Structure 1
Amino acid sequence: MTAEHMPGGHAARTVESVVRNELSGRVAGHVVQAGVIHGDVHTGDLYVHPRRERVVPRQLVLPPRLFTGRTQHLAALTHDVAEQDDAGATVAIAVIGGPGGVGKTALALHWAHRNIDRFPDGQLHVDLRGFAPSGEAMSPEVAVRGFLDALGVEPAAIPPGLDAQAALYRSLVAGKRMLVVLDNVRGSEQVEPLLPGSPTCTVLVTSRRRLTGLVTRHGARPLDLGVLTEAEARELFTRHVGAARVATEPHAVAELLGWCAGLPIAISVVAARAARHATFPLAVPAEELREESERLDALDGGELTASLRAVLSWSYRALDREQADIFGLLGLAPGPDISLLAAAALAALSRPRAHAVLQVLEDASLIQQHVPGRYRMHDLIRLYATEQADDDQSRDDRDTALRRLADFYLHTAFAADRLLEPHRPLMEIDPPLVPVVPGGLPHWMPDRAAALAWLDTEHPCLLATHRLAVTRGWHRMVWQLAWTLTAYHGRRGHLQDDLAVLRAGLLSAHRLEDTTALLWAHQFLGAAYALVDRHADAFDHLGQALDLAQDAHDVTGQIHTHHAFTWLWEVQEDDQRALEHATSALRLCRGLDQPVWEADMLNSVGWFSARLGHHEQARTDCQAALALSRRHHYPQGEAYALDSLGYLAHHTGDHRKAEDYYQQSLALYRNLGDAYDEAIILDHLGETQAVLGHHDQARHNWQQALELYRTQHRAAEADRTQSRLDEHGDREHRNAEIPAGGA
């Protein structure tokens, strides 16, 4: 068809404005039938080219057959679209983000097909191959030309240049209720030319990266997609292999799903393999996944899109060398997550540089910042990262990075320990074995509360680092990290963790042939065994510690070992032997200029004197311990002495005074974060309040003590407190049944 020449006076018009006229059926007074304007806006030469009959594009690919769960995400998409419809100002854009294999495309397509009636004017879909195996993403020019073709534009009528093509595309969808699905996007710039300009349209974007540009510039709603819940994962697996088979082997199913950790691609690959061998027991694929070194092989479905390793490789190849190396090191790092400062130590980067790299990895959905400043990986992504570190970095580089991280944890834990227990014997820890970034070691903490908070947060990572040190044979690290954690473990009641690190610390002290380390390892381990009622082991280790201290004329070691013996004899209910050790410790202490230690030993002598009925002597010693602790700003010793004075007042009939002492002691223990002793004081306080007739308060405090005992796995104390609660409840019930005035 011959083009109709248009007057040159219209050169100021843009292609988009002219096309709007065409869409209304008139251009410069001429009626246009089924034509598209094309021309050079700079010269004013505009042409009308024929367009095919109006088509309604239906480009959505098939929805996932076994889509499962995601109820909240589906509802969030519907809500956002409806909200945007109500606002009516701009196009509704939702960005579905998450790592490879988490089901972003599946969610977008499932929602699109469920809501297809919302878009009677058509649905456009394009895979932009942002993370394609070839590494070559689709250009916006290719994508928009595909959309124009789907909208019925003849090739000859497509203007040159991306800007003009995008303008034509926006004009053609203007005012129409259409859905545009932009799948597998690499970056915001790739999709911006593909965004409609009409508020009647809805856009779903999927990407492994956080497309901040779409959010900030175009008001897109981010929707981060995590792993499936346990129930959703089981449902997806069941739909693949059948309910009967799942019911037959519940333990194998639980193990399989545990290794997949909620990642849809992993579940689907495992389920497909199980379905392919329908006569095999599910224990077979479970065994394949059990071996960590072969787990990613077991999650290979034989095709690029059905191989977890292949899917993750597409994201990995998009990283530069520095980002890729740090990604690999993060896979090696011990613990369930890592802080920004620890990651900086691991990578030998400044904090700002480390933050920038972690931001890239987070934007690529390879790591997740699950709380501010802390990052974690999905277990299977971690396995892949570890593989890349093994392949791409030398063993020396990997070991050096891990040692930097371990030194960061050790030195920061030591600094935290000095804030918690500034008066306990000082251990000289080794300087960092490898250089670290200036100012990065240790992490600075202003006070005791900050130290306790850091230890609470990092405790799983510290335990994992200790296990790493054991595995690597870093014996001084093993022993020194065990030392630094004992005070914290005692305060929080982590008794089994304390035993684990101290047992390993003792073995390392033997390998080091370090007499001082052996002395303290035996002493700490003996005290730890005493607290978990393993009395024979406690006597053995404390006896060895005392022998070593006496042979070495180590007065400090003797004092603290005698003190530990007092706890052990107390639980053996031999208060006289306990008093003898406390008296020996006090005598040795008075030869040193250590007033805080002297306060502890005075309190121990007073406590056991009170238990033996020597009340006046006990009161004198405990009050002296209280005064000494207050004079030297030693709140732990103050709390100990107040507990002893409360016990003394309770057992001499002054219950109101006992209650006051216990309340003061409780406040101090809570301020110190000492949950272990807090439980004991709550127990004592409940006893006194019960005698005073404050039954509700007594029950409340016993209940709190019971919860702490259970949390700390102190079974004997928990059983005793539960019995006390039951007995007290029964007594109150019986008293309530007796009529006023007596029987």
Structure 2
Amino acid sequence: MDADLWFTVLGPIRAWRGGSELDLGTPQQRKLLASLLLREGSQISVRELSNMLWGSATPDTATAVIRTYVARLRRELDGSPIRRQDSVIATVQGGYRLVNRPDSFDLAMFRREVSTAEEASKARDPRRAAEHLRTALALWHDEPLAGLLGEHASAERARLELLRLGALSRWFELELELGSHTAIIPELTQLVGQHPLDEHLHELLMLALYRSGRQAQALAIYRNVQEVLAEELGVDPGPDLQRMYGRILQADPDLLATTAEAGTLDNAEEDHEPEPAHTVTVVDRAPDIMGQHPTAPTRLPPRLTVFAGRSRELAAAREMLADPDTRPGTVVVSGMAGVGKTTFAVHWARQIAQHFPDGQFYLNLRGFAPDDDPVDALKAVRTVLEILGLRPGSVPDDLDAAVALYRGVLAERRVLLLLDNARLAAQVRPLLPDSSGSLAVVTSRNRLAGLQILDGARSILLEPLPAAQARELLVRRIGGQRVADEPEVVQEIIDRCGRLPLALSIVAARCATHAQFTLDAATTALRGDLGLARIATSLDALSLYEAYDCDVDPRHVFSWSYRTLSPPAARLFRLAALHPGPDMSIAALASLTGLSRQPTLSHLAELSNAHLLIESAPGRYEFHDLLRAYADELKQRLDPPEEQQQAQLRMLDHYVHSTIAALRQYNDLEPISEAPVLRPAVAVEAFCDRDAALRWYETESPVLMAVAHQARMQDHLEHVWHLAWATDTYHYRSGRGRNAAVMHTWALEAAEYLDRSLWQGISHRFLGDVHADLGSFTESVMHIEAALAIFDTHHDVKRRADCYLTLARVARRQGDGRESIAHLKRAAEIGQHHGDQLLVATALNNMGEQYGDIGEHDTAVKLCREALDLWTELDDQHALANCYDTLGHSVFHLGEHEQAFKYLQYAIDTFQDLGDKGNQANSLSRLGDACAAHGDNAAAIAAWSNAFTILKSLDEADPGELETKLRRAGTYGGVVQ
């Protein structure tokens, strides 16, 4: 390894050789280097790298892209265009590792200094220990991995921040031991503000203040953290912090000593027992039926010691109650099974309980209980009244009379009702208090929209936890050290549990109560790698963990929602599991069931209301991963294989024919005659114009890739071929060449298996085009030659001419202008011979482009004007834009600057309208070049910047040339970027 290399991750990811900083490339490439660095010399597999870079959206080309990133990093880090045997990045079986020395990496040096500090502490040399920690902390320049995005980077950043916080905390302890209490107060105060829930930091600050003669401020710190912990977590300060408070309150002189006693400042965790129920005496407002000592006890469930996350939802809940004039009387907390509705509602209810002194009640309405025996309204009213002190038997048997008595007893009282697990609005409505000072908090798996519409209720929707909060839940249940030690394993647990609190809690409980059950073992089970034939999903493993407790078995919990569905909605839920995702349209779901749009909408409303499907955007629906697994199990058990097969084929027909309909609008082409026959009861999308087709392509693009892959795996090969053909234009214009390469490779396999010779030729020709665009010229020529041979056999002269167009592109990209022109002339001759104006126009325009490349701009302009006349007659907007782009480039070189600007701007605007981002960026780059040559540096930078932004949004584009132009403009043009 180069002895002059130096890497940093304790701030932005950077590297230097000697005194010169190295260019680490794109954010994704820097993220790959960061992943290698953070392994600190250990191997990292390609699969792990793929997950770190793309997560669940890993492309099929991930391995090739990673290989490209590694090659670029090697060139930069090794300082050589040719790979060296002693490269900094070594290839190991199945992955890579970074060969770096400990003194070449800031994190390694940080660890070394911290370790040395620990040794000095053990040797009872606090001054030397503090110096080494000061050196370690000086290596931090910003938040770690600054500028890197994504969940993996966030997880690593959190892990590194914990290391820094631990070092800082220990440094403060040592400074206190050395008597530097006054000096550290400003920095310690700032750190406490950044970590308001860290009790140990508060404890250190209190001690520093007390030793500095500021006893009152030290006590104020305690009262403040006490309020914050109660508000945010519903807990009291821990025993160490309480002990520090008590000693300061008593002015303990031993605290003034500057040699810390062993264990005095150790941070310990303690679970707190729930506070005893508190009762409040209330005025007897119904003396004839009330008992002698009516009370309003606190009947809420015990305080939760492991509540995590939900800060956004808690803030929204607090805001609802902030203004007395707009405060709702009812709040509905809804969400899917296992998302933590009851946990959230209990936590919030305990936070606000003091505002309701006349009673706080919890009632489980059992709306989704497995025995299907929900609590009716009369029974619930009777329960509350008896808790309030009414004599047994004094509540009328008539519901209306009982409700009237109930509301009379509650009149002018301030009570909190937590109505858990409601199924219907009608079950809840009689229990809603009339008093403006009371509040009913209702939890339900259904949305209970009727309470919002008719009763003015407000709604809080709970979704699966964000990744950071899911990690926080695991930290609180199994400890921060275990989570910090295995960040990748923890992330996989979070992903496989779908960030669902119930599932995460099951895994955490298993790990916490079985010391031998490691986090890695948990992921093995969740992957379905236990070696048991029936274990195939995360759902299996979660059910296996808690086989004897139905209340926490996800299958049973989900079943309580499923059993409430109407039969058609239940069938839609099951068949939707046939869809590969990531999301589903109404038309796709209607095709699966074979129903028309209106009943499908009705069933979707039922599923969405029950939170069994998520309406992620208007008209788009998603599964939670565990619910998908549950629906798939039900489908396999309840729906005959032939019905599943027909549903699958209807869905594939929907996508093939909808894609062809979009292509007809998007590219003014008619579908080929061999399109598959449309089955009955298939919903096909209709598009009014090109913009509507483009929007559909953009929305469905990831779905179409998933559908094609699924069709390939299930041998629906005609659908695979047609999906590849009908998405080619969109993939080309949107800069998704690698997607096109994958689709056409699948299509070629399908055509070969089906023994469809012409289809094979078309797929070869498409692959030739794609590889030409991607710079894989050998592969391009190979496919074009195969296509030419097939088209010769079929005497298909027109398609042979298309092959010459591709060969011309390859020759042009390789710098052989004359060879390119020769191919284009052959294509033009074929077009003229067969009266094919489109082919002639394409060849002429491409020749104009080629002549412009070799500097013969007069010839280029002449050819382009001929092509322009033909394109105008054909009314092909995309081709016209290409033609104007070529014209603009050439007429500028002939001195017609204003005309060139007009041509290029027309091309830019048209490409933007058509969604062709790659060509739009190319025209913007040319416009920038023209502006720079014209002396307008500001306009050049604006055009180049727009082009750079577009190319950065395309995974396969290389914006390096534009970056160089912008850097030069900023350096030499006097313009600050």
CA distance in structure 2 between the partners assigned to 1:425 and 1:226 by the alignment: 43
Contact 2:474 2:508 in 1 (8 A): yes
Contact 2:332 2:459 in 1 (8 A): yes
Q: Percent same amino acid at aligned positions?
A: 34
Contact 1:562 1:582 in 2 (8 A): yes
Contact 1:330 1:343 in 2 (8 A): yes
* 1:310 and 2:550 are equivalent in the alignment: no
The 5-angstrom pairing of residues 461-480 of structure 1 reads: 461-480=703-722
| Counterpart in the other structure of 1:722 | 963
Deviations, residues 46-67 of structure 1 (Å, cap 9, x unaligned): xxxx634211132111133211
> Cα distance 1:537–1:413, how it changes in 2: closer, same or farther (>3 A)?
same
CA distance in structure 2 between the partners assigned to 1:412 and 1:343 by the alignment: 14
| Counterpart in the other structure of 1:128 | 365
Contact 2:737 2:774 in 1 (8 A): yes
Secondary structure in 1 matching 2:815: coil
CA distance in structure 2 between the partners assigned to 1:316 and 1:688 by the alignment: 64
CA distance in structure 2 between the partners assigned to 1:67 and 1:400 by the alignment: 46
Q: 1:485 aligns with which of 724, 727, 745?
A: 727
| Counterpart in the other structure of 2:540 | 297
CA distance in structure 2 between the partners assigned to 1:406 and 1:575 by the alignment: 44
Q: What residue identity is the alignment partner of 1:125?
A: Y
* 1:274 and 2:515 are equivalent in the alignment: no
Q: 1:149 aligns with which of 386, 389, 401?
A: 386
Secondary structure in 1 matching 2:417: strand
Q: 1:328 aligns with which of 562, 570, 574?
A: 574
| Counterpart in the other structure of 1:609 | 851
* 1:514 and 2:756 are equivalent in the alignment: yes
| Counterpart in the other structure of 2:445 | 208
The 5-angstrom pairing of residues 37-52 of structure 1 reads: 51-52=291-292
Contact 1:589 1:597 in 2 (8 A): yes
Deviations, residues 618-670 of structure 1 (Å, cap 9, x unaligned): 22211011121112211111111111111212333433332222111111111
CA distance in structure 2 between the partners assigned to 1:368 and 1:347 by the alignment: 18
CA distance in structure 1 between the partners assigned to 2:788 and 2:569 by the alignment: 53
The 5-angstrom pairing of residues 387-398 of structure 1 reads: 387-398=633-644
Q: What residue identity is the alignment partner of 2:963?
A: Q
Deviation at 1:210, TM superposition (A): 1.2
> Cα distance 1:277–1:306, how it changes in 2: closer, same or farther (>3 A)?
same
Worse overlay, 277-286 or 305-314: 277-286
> Cα distance 1:197–1:425, how it changes in 2: closer, same or farther (>3 A)?
closer
| Counterpart in the other structure of 1:46 | none
Q: 1:577 aligns with which of 807, 819, 825?
A: 819
CA distance in structure 2 between the partners assigned to 1:24 and 1:287 by the alignment: 61
* 1:636 and 2:878 are equivalent in the alignment: yes
Q: What residue identity is the alignment partner of 1:723?
A: T
> Cα distance 1:467–1:614, how it changes in 2: closer, same or farther (>3 A)?
same
Deviation at 1:182, TM superposition (A): 0.7
| Counterpart in the other structure of 2:376 | 139
* 1:539 and 2:781 are equivalent in the alignment: yes
Deviations, residues 524-550 of structure 1 (Å, cap 9, x unaligned): 001101111111111100111112212
CA distance in structure 2 between the partners assigned to 1:625 and 1:431 by the alignment: 38
| Counterpart in the other structure of 1:57 | 297
* 1:599 and 2:845 are equivalent in the alignment: no
Deviation at 1:335, TM superposition (A): 1.6
Contact 2:358 2:415 in 1 (8 A): yes
Q: What residue identity is the alignment partner of 2:612?
A: L
Deviation at 1:423, TM superposition (A): 4.4
| Counterpart in the other structure of 1:257 | 494
| Counterpart in the other structure of 1:42 | none
| Counterpart in the other structure of 2:313 | 73
Q: What residue identity is the alignment partner of 1:718?
A: P
| Counterpart in the other structure of 1:676 | 918
TM-score (norm 2): 0.68
* 1:692 and 2:938 are equivalent in the alignment: no
The 5-angstrom pairing of residues 409-488 of structure 1 reads: 409-423=655-669, 426=672, 428-432=674-678, 434-437=679-682, 440=683, 442-488=684-730
CA distance in structure 2 between the partners assigned to 1:395 and 1:153 by the alignment: 59
| Counterpart in the other structure of 1:95 | 332
Contact 2:510 2:517 in 1 (8 A): no
Deviations, residues 68-93 of structure 1 (Å, cap 9, x unaligned): 1111211222222333x3347xx610
Q: What residue identity is the alignment partner of 2:939?
A: Q
Deviations, residues 373-407 of structure 1 (Å, cap 9, x unaligned): 11111111111111111111111111211111111
Q: 1:660 aligns with which of 893, 898, 902?
A: 902
| Counterpart in the other structure of 1:35 | 288
CA distance in structure 2 between the partners assigned to 1:499 and 1:559 by the alignment: 21
Contact 2:764 2:787 in 1 (8 A): yes
Task: Answer 1 or 2: higher relative contact order, Cα 8 Å, separation at least 6.
Answer: 1
Secondary structure in 2 matching 1:35: coil
CA distance in structure 2 between the partners assigned to 1:630 and 1:731 by the alignment: 42
Secondary structure in 2 matching 1:488: helix
Deviation at 1:465, TM superposition (A): 0.7
Contact 1:686 1:702 in 2 (8 A): yes
* 1:223 and 2:460 are equivalent in the alignment: yes
Secondary structure in 2 matching 1:205: strand
Contact 1:526 1:539 in 2 (8 A): yes
Q: 2:770 aligns with which of 499, 512, 528?
A: 528
CA distance in structure 2 between the partners assigned to 1:493 and 1:651 by the alignment: 28
Contact 1:596 1:634 in 2 (8 A): no
Contact 2:497 2:538 in 1 (8 A): no
| Counterpart in the other structure of 2:483 | 246
| Counterpart in the other structure of 2:7 | none
Contact 1:603 1:621 in 2 (8 A): yes
Q: 2:431 aligns with which of 194, 197, 210?
A: 194
Deviation at 1:424, TM superposition (A): 7.7
Worse overlay, 415-424 or 305-314: 415-424
* 1:590 and 2:832 are equivalent in the alignment: yes
| Counterpart in the other structure of 1:378 | 624
| Counterpart in the other structure of 1:504 | 746
CA distance in structure 2 between the partners assigned to 1:216 and 1:614 by the alignment: 72
Contact 2:581 2:622 in 1 (8 A): no
* 1:172 and 2:409 are equivalent in the alignment: yes
Q: What residue identity is the alignment partner of 1:722?
A: E
| Counterpart in the other structure of 1:342 | 588
Secondary structure in 2 matching 1:96: strand
| Counterpart in the other structure of 2:143 | none
| Counterpart in the other structure of 1:404 | 650
Q: What residue identity is the alignment partner of 1:727?
A: R
Worse overlay, 650-659 or 229-238: 650-659
Contact 1:576 1:612 in 2 (8 A): no
Q: What residue identity is the alignment partner of 1:726?
A: R
CA distance in structure 2 between the partners assigned to 1:96 and 1:621 by the alignment: 68
| Counterpart in the other structure of 2:972 | 731
Q: What residue identity is the alignment partner of 1:296?
A: L
CA distance in structure 1 between the partners assigned to 2:618 and 2:326 by the alignment: 32
Q: How many equivalent pairs are there?
A: 685
CA distance in structure 1 between the partners assigned to 2:876 and 2:729 by the alignment: 15
CA distance in structure 1 between the partners assigned to 2:740 and 2:354 by the alignment: 62
| Counterpart in the other structure of 1:739 | none
Deviation at 1:248, TM superposition (A): 1.5
Deviations, residues 716-736 of structure 1 (Å, cap 9, x unaligned): x41122112212222214x99
Contact 2:414 2:438 in 1 (8 A): yes
CA distance in structure 2 between the partners assigned to 1:485 and 1:156 by the alignment: 72
CA distance in structure 1 between the partners assigned to 2:671 and 2:618 by the alignment: 36
CA distance in structure 1 between the partners assigned to 2:808 and 2:429 by the alignment: 74
Secondary structure in 1 matching 2:295: coil
